[in-house]
Structure 1
Amino acid sequence: MFLNVGALVRATAAPTDEPTGVTFFKGSWKEALAEAKRQNKPIFLDVFTSWCPPCKRMAKEAFPNAKVGAKFNVHFINYQLDAEKGEGIAIAKQYAVASYPTALYLTPDGGLIHRSVGYGGVNAMIDQADLVLAIPQLKITLAKGDKDFANGKRDPDFLKRYLKARQALHRPTADVLDAYLDALPESERTTPETLSFVADALQSSDTKAFSYLIKNRPSLSTSDLTKQSLARAILATTYRVLNNEFQQACATNDEALLEKVITNSERNTASANPFLVRQDAQKQEAANDYRLRFYRQTKNFVKYRAIAGPIAQNQLMSQSIDTLQRLDSITAIRMKSALVFLPDSLKKIIPIAPDNKPMTNRLISWKVAYSLHEIASTYLVMGASPTDWNPALTWAERAIALYRTPEYVTTYADLLKKLGRTEDALNVQK
C-alpha cells in the first residue's frame, strides 16, 4: 500500500562545537525567502561585487568572526548575492542597490526594513544588528529566549517555555526539544505529560525526541483508555513527521533524506507492533513503496522503472485472482478488529475505512489492483514508447479485473490510445 508517511527541518549549517562565523543560507533567493517565512526570521542580505575592496575586507574580517556569527546566525537568515551575477542583478535592481557592500535587512516576506551601505568594522556590524532588531516591525519575528539558548541556558522550565514560544512563531524546535529531554530529571522523562508534550512538539525523525517517543510509547492494545489515547496521538505524530520529511525529500530531490525516512519509518513500524516480527520481504515492500512514490514525484522514470517493472511483473502479476480472493476473506476478519485501534488522523492517510465494506472485504485484491494501477498510470504518463506502454496495458487490465473503478478503466483506455488502438479505447470508455 502506498501510505503518505515520511525532513522537515533542513539546517543551513552543520552543527559544530567550535565558534563559527556567519552561516549563509545555500540555495536560491526564493528558497531563502521560504526559509525565512518558515522560521519567521528576518533576513540579512549582503549585496556585494567581486571587485569591491570593502566587500573583500568585510568577507575576510567580519563574516568569519565568532561574535558576528553568534549574533547573525541566531537572529537572521543570512544570504549573499553578487550584484553583477545571476539572481543578484535583478534583486539589486529591485532594492535599488547602487553602492557596495550594501546590507539589506528584510522582513520574512522580503519587505525592506533597514539599509546600510559600506563596512565599518566588526563592532559596527554587531551594533547595526542590535539597532535593526530593535525596530518594531522585526520584534515580532524573535522568539523570547533566543539569546539565552544560544548562550547555553538549559534549565528545563526555561526550555519548555522557549519551546512553546518557538512553536507559536512557527520556528524549528528539533534542537530545543532534544535539549529539553536531556535536561529533564530521570523521574519526569517517561510520564504521560512528558510524552504528550514531546509528541506535540516533534518535528523531525532524525532526533533524540523521535527515538524517545517510539521507545516509550504505550501499546495501542492497552485497556487503559488514557494510555490508549496517548498511544494513538504518538502514532499520528510519528506518521505526520515522517510524511512531512518525505515531502521535503521530494521537494529537494534529496535521496539521502529519503533513505533516512525509510529507516525511521521501519523503526516506527517495529515500535508500534513490538510483538510482530517483520520479515525482510515486508521491510523491502515498505521501502519500495517510498522509493516508487519518490521517483514518481521527482519524475525520475529511469529509477522508477528499475524498481516498478519487476514488482509489477514478477510479484503483483504472479498471483492468481482466486488466490487473492481467498486472502481477501482471511484479511477481512483481521482488519475488522485492527481498524478499531487506528486514530482518525491515520484513517485519513490510509485509504481504508470501516464503512467502506467493498474495500475492507477485498483488501488484498484492492491493494494489488491499486499498486498495479499506480505503476501502469505512471508508465502511461512518464513512458516514452510502446516498450513502456505494452506491459502497462497488461497491468492495467489486471487491476480492473481485481477491483474495477472508473479511474482504472480510464487509464486502460488511455494506454490503448497511446498504442494507436483508438477504436478499442473508445469502446472501453463506453
Structure 2
Amino acid sequence: MRRFLLLSVFVLSTGLTAMADGVRFFQGSWGQLLSEAKRQNKPIFVDVYTTWCGPCKLMTSQAFPNPRVASRMNEHFVNYKLDAEKGDGQSIAKRYGVQGYPTSLFLTPDGKLLHRAIGYNGIDKFLAEAQKAISDAKEARTMAIWNAEYDRGERSAKFLRGMLLKQTEYDRATADVLDDYVKILPKADTLAADEIKFLSDVLSTTYTKAYLLLARQTTSVAGQAAKQPLLPGLTKALSRAEQFDFQDAVASQDEVQLEQLIKHINARQQAQNPALAKTPVEQKAILEREADDVRLRFYRASRLPAHYIALAKKIAETRLMTRTATELARADSLAYLQSQRIDSGVATQSTDSTATTTPQADRSAVSRLTALQLCDLARNLTEQSADKKDLAQALRWSERAVQLHNHPSTVLVHARLLNRAGRRTEAQRQLRDAISRQQPDHDSVPMLQAELNKL
C-alpha cells in the first residue's frame, strides 16, 4: 500500500501517466511540456493521433506497453500524446505539417523538429526511428557549439563549409550561412565543379542567393561534358529547396509565403533558361501557368477547397478547354520536333529514318498532357465539392480529356464521374469499349474490368 501511494505521488508530482508499466506520457499543456523537457534536458516524443485511426490504436496497444519500447522512450524522451483533431492539437499538428496518422514527432526541448516518422510498422521499426532521434538530439547539442562560433563572427571558408554540412546532417542549412558562403566564392559566372557539388549537397531553401546562383549553373553544366554528371544533383537540389519551402508554407497556411516562393521559382526558371520564350507576353504566360500549378498544390495540401475550386475552374476553362484541335496539333508537332532534336543531339530536325518508328504517344505529347491535366482537375474538383453543377462541369472536362487522349487512365476517370452523375449505362459502355481496345494481357485490363464489375 505504501509503495502504491509513493508511486501515485511520483506520477502526480511529475505530470506523467504510465501505461501499465509501459511508456510514461506527460500530462499537461504544450507549454508545460516544453518546460518539463527543458527541466529534464531531454528531447520530446509526440504521438500525434486521431481517435478514428486504426494504426494509431495498434501502436498504442502494441508498442507503448512493450518493455523494450518503454525502457528506451522513458530513458531518453519526455513523451506526449496529441489528438490532432482536438483543442490545441489542431494548430500544433498544422504547425509541424502533420498530414498522416500516426505521426511520431521527435523534438528538441524547445520544440524544434529533430526527426519525423509517419505510420506504424511494428515495434522494431518504431525503435529504429526513436534511435535516429536520439542520435539527432546528440548532434543538436554539438550544433550549439557551431552556432556559438558563428555568432562570434567566424566566417572562414573552411568553417562555413563545415557548418553547412553539420546543419544539413542535423536538419537544414540556413539561408544566412548559405549567403555568407556565397559572399566568399569567386565572382564568376560559372562555378568550379566542386563548388557546384557542394552547394547541391547543402541547398535547402529558396531564400538564399545560393539558390539562383546554382540555377544559373544549369546551362554551363549541361553544355560541358566534364560537368554533366553534376546535373541530376543540381536539379534535385533546386527541387528539394522548393519542396522544403512549400511544406513550410503549407504547415503555416501562409499564402504570402506561398507567393514569395512562386516568385523565387519564376526567377529560377528564368535563370535556368534566359530564352524562356520568344516574347515577354509568352514568358509571362509560361510563368503564370507554373505559378497556378503551385497554387493548386498548396490549396489542396492546405485543405482550402473554395480556393482550389475557383482556381481549378479558371485553369480548366480559360487555359485547357479553350485549346482548339488545330492549336493542339501544332503544339504536338513542335514538341515532337524539339524532342527529336534533343534525342539526336543536333539543332535541326532529325532526318533519320528511325524517326518514323517513334511511338504515336510521342507525337501527341501536348494533347496527352492537356488530357491528363483535365482529368486530374475533374477528379479533384469532385473530391472538393458535392455541388451537382461542379460535377457537371467536371464531366465536361473528363469528356474532353477522353477525346484528346483515349486512354485507360482518362476513360477510368470519366466513367467514375458518369456513374456518380447517375449515368451508369454510359459508364459501363465507356469501360467495355476501353477493354475491347486493349490486348487481353495489357496491364490496364484488370483495372478496367474491376471498375466495370463495381457498376
TM-score by length of 2: 0.59
TM-aligned CA distance change 1:319 to 1:217, over 3 Å: closer
Q: Which residue of 2 aligns with 1:337?
A: 341
Structure 2 CA distance for aligned equivalents of residues 188 and 310 of structure 1: 40
- Structure 1 pair 373/416, CA: closer, same or farther in 2 (3 Å)? same
Structure 1 residue corresponding to 2:390, chosen from 388, 393, 399: 388
Task: Tell me whether 1:299 sits opposite 2:300 in the alignment.
Answer: no
Contact 2:217 2:272 (C-alpha < 8 Å) held by counterparts: no
Percent of counterpart pairs with the same letter? 27
Q: What CA distance in whole angstroms lies between the structure 1 residues aligned with 2:157 and 2:283?
A: 41
Q: Does 1:397 align with 2:428?
A: no
Residue 426 to residue 251, structure 1, CA distance change in 2 (3 Å):
farther
Alpha-carbon separation, structure 1, partners of 2:230 and 2:327: 39
Q: Does 1:250 align with 2:250?
A: yes
Per-residue deviation, 1:364:
1.0
Shift of 1:404: 2.2
Structure 1 residue 317 corresponds to structure 2 residue 321 = yes
Alpha-carbon distance in structure 1 between the residues aligned to 2:180 and 2:222: 31
Q: 1:421 to 1:410 in 2, by over 3 A?
A: same
CA contact (8 A) 2:242 2:265 kept: yes
When you count helix as a share of all residues, which structure comes out higher?
2
Q: Residue deviations 1:155-214, cap 9 Å, x none?
A: 111222222233333443433222222244658993332232112211111112113223
- Give me the whole-angstrom Cα distance separating, in 2, the residues matched to 1:187 and 1:221: 17
Within a 5 Å distance, the mapping from 1:131-146 to structure 2 comes to: 139-141=138-140, 142-143=142-143, 145-146=146-147
User: Where does structure 1 lack aligned partners over 5 or more consecutive residues?
Assistant: 1-46, 49-81, 116-128, 130-135, 342-354
Q: Which amino acid aligns with 1:243?
A: Q
CA distance in 2 between counterparts of 1:294 and 1:251 reads: 10
SS, match of residue 39 in structure 2: strand
* Contact 2:173-2:204 within 8 A present in 1 as well: yes
Which string of whole-angstrom CA distances, capped at 9 and with x for unpartnered residues, describes residues 132-160 of structure 1? xxxx9864442363321232211111222
- 2-side partners of 1:148 and 1:282: how far apart? 45
Determine helix, strand or coil for the equivalent of 2:323.
coil
Q: 1:146 to 1:109 in 2, by over 3 A?
A: farther
Name the structure 2 match of 1:271: 271
Q: Which amino acid aligns with 2:287?
A: K
Q: 1:418 to 1:139 in 2, by over 3 A?
A: closer
Residue 330 (structure 1) shift: 2.5
Alpha-carbon spacing, 1:301–1:356, altered in 2? closer, same or farther (3 Å): farther
CA 1:282–1:114 in 2, change beyond 3 Å: closer, same or farther? Answer: closer
Tell me if structure 2 keeps the 8 A contact 1:178–1:209. Answer: yes
- Whole-angstrom CA distance in 2 between matches of 1:368 and 1:198: 35
Structure 2 contact 249–255 (Cα < 8 Å) conserved? yes
CA contact (8 A) 1:190 1:216 kept: yes
1:235 CA drift (Å):
3.0
Which of 37, 41, 44 is equivalent to 1:105? 41
Q: Is 1:286 aligned to 2:222, yes or no?
A: no
Q: How far 1:394 sits from its partner (Å)? A: 0.9
Distance 2:274 2:263 in 1: 16
8 Å CA contact retained: 1:105, 1:113: no
* Structure 1 residues 196 and 339: CA distance shift in structure 2, 3 A: farther
1:349 equivalent in structure 2:
none
Offset from partner CA, 1:354-378 (integer Å, 9 cap, x none): x994443211101210111111111
1:186-225 to 2 correspondences below 5 Å:
190-219=191-220, 222=223, 224-225=224-225
Q: 1:185 to 1:429 in 2, by over 3 A?
A: closer
Q: Is the 2:312–2:381 Cα contact (8 Å) retained in structure 1?
A: no
Q: Distance in 2 between matches of 1:167 and 1:329?
A: 44
Report the equivalent of 1:52.
none
1:29-87 alpha-carbon deviations (Å, 9 max, x no partner): xxxxxxxxxxxxxxxxxx99xxxxxxxxxxxxxxxxxxxxxxxxxxxxxxxxx9765x5
Quote the Cα distance in structure 1 between the aligned partners of 2:398 and 2:333: 24
Stretches (4+) displaced over 6 A? none
Residue by residue over 1:210-255, the C-alpha shift from the partner in whole angstroms, topping out at 9 and shown as x without a partner, is 1322345543552x21233445542332123213322343344232
Q: State the alpha-carbon separation in 1 of the partners of residues 313 and 138 from structure 2.
A: 55
Distance 1:262 1:358, change over 3 A: farther
Residues 411 and 430 of structure 2 are in contact (CA less than 8 Å); yes or no, is this contact kept in structure 1? yes
The structure showing larger relative contact order (alpha-carbon pairs under 8 Å, at least 6 residues apart) is: 1
Q: Which amino acid aligns with 2:403?
A: A
Residues 187, 314 of structure 1: CA spacing in aligned structure 2 closer, same or farther, 3 A cutoff? closer
Q: What is the aligned-residue RMSD (CA, Å)? A: 3.6
Task: Identify the residue that residue 160 of structure 1 maps to in structure 2.
Answer: 161
Aligned residues: 310
Q: Secondary structure at the match of 2:40?
A: strand
CA distance in 2, matches of 1:301, 1:196: 40
Distance of 2:38 and 2:291 partners within structure 1: 49
Task: For residue 41 of structure 2, give the secondary structure of its aligned residue in structure 1.
Answer: strand
